[in-house]
Amino acid sequence: MINTGTLIEKTGLSPRQIDYWVRAGYIKPSIRFGVGSGNHHIWSRNDVAYLSRVKERIDWGMMPTVALRSKDPTLPKPFNRKGDHI
pLDDT, tens digit, 9 for 90 and up, residues 43-68: 999 999 999 999 999 998 988 988 88
Region 59-79: mean pLDDT is 73
Predicted TM-score (pTM) of this structure: 0.74
| 36 found inside a domain | yes
Residue 30 belongs to a domain: yes
Residue ranges making up the domain that contains 13: 2-68
C-alpha span between 14 and 70 (Å, rounded): 20
Query: Hey, is 47 helix, strand or coil?
Result: helix
| Residue 50 domain flag | yes
**Residue 42 placed within a domain:** yes
- The SS3 of residue 59 is helix
> How many domains would you assign to the chain?
1
